[in-house]
Amino acid sequence: LTCAGDLAKKGYKVSVFEALHTTGGVLVYGIPEFRLPKSTVVASEIENVKSLGVKIETNVVIGKSMTIDQLIEEEGFEAVFIGSGAGLPKFMGIPGETACGVLSANEFLTRNNLMKAFDESYDTPIVHGKKVVVVGGGNVAMDAARTALRLGGETHIVYRRSEEELPARK
């Protein structure tokens, strides 16, 4: 979105292709509402980008729905910027990590943030652990821990270094 906005300000005709059904990428599905309000901050930024003339299409997965070659050869785009988002999670290769109830932070946060699993009226499955452990000390780990806490879980963070060395923002 930042790239699209900056290019539009310079006079380029820009289109954004969003893989999911909601515009905003990681801002919407990865960061919890309590840390980044979607209906105010994110929606406002998206509207600002649209007001610059940027066209946004959702439910388009580049590489599946359409290829980069198609964008250039058939759609007439002259340049392509790939903003791939958070990417895939990195698992540790330890016994038990594929057990039922073990989720990557990305999946847990997406189910909660984008698919509204916290809302009983939605049909999105999410594990509501009574006792939850989050492995890691970065911002994503903290978001997962705080979300689990808000879902009612007794939440513990396991990190390989000291609390002073946590890479997450204070």
So what's the pLDDT on residue 133? 95
- 134 beta partners: 157
Rounded to an integer, what distance in angstroms lies between the CA atom of residue 127 and that of residue 104?
12
pTM of the full structure: 0.82
Query: 34 near 146, Cβ under 8 Å?
Result: yes
So what's the pLDDT on residue 116? 76
So what's the pLDDT on residue 118? 72
In this prediction, the residues of the chain whose per-residue pLDDT falls under 70 are none
Alpha-carbon dihedral sign for residues 31, 154, 116, 96: positive
Q: What is the dihedral of CA 128, 129, 133, 135, to 10 degrees?
A: -30
So what's the pLDDT on residue 104? 93
DSSP string, 128-166: --SEEEEE--SHHHHHHHHHHHHTT-EEEEE-SS-GGG-
Rounded to an integer, what distance in angstroms lies between the CA atom of residue 147 and that of residue 151?
6
Q: What is the dihedral of CA 98, 102, 105, 111, to 10 degrees?
A: 110
Give φ, ψ of 21 to 5 degrees: -80, -10
What is the tens place of the pLDDT at every residue in 75-107?
A: 999 999 999 887 788 899 999 999 988 999 998
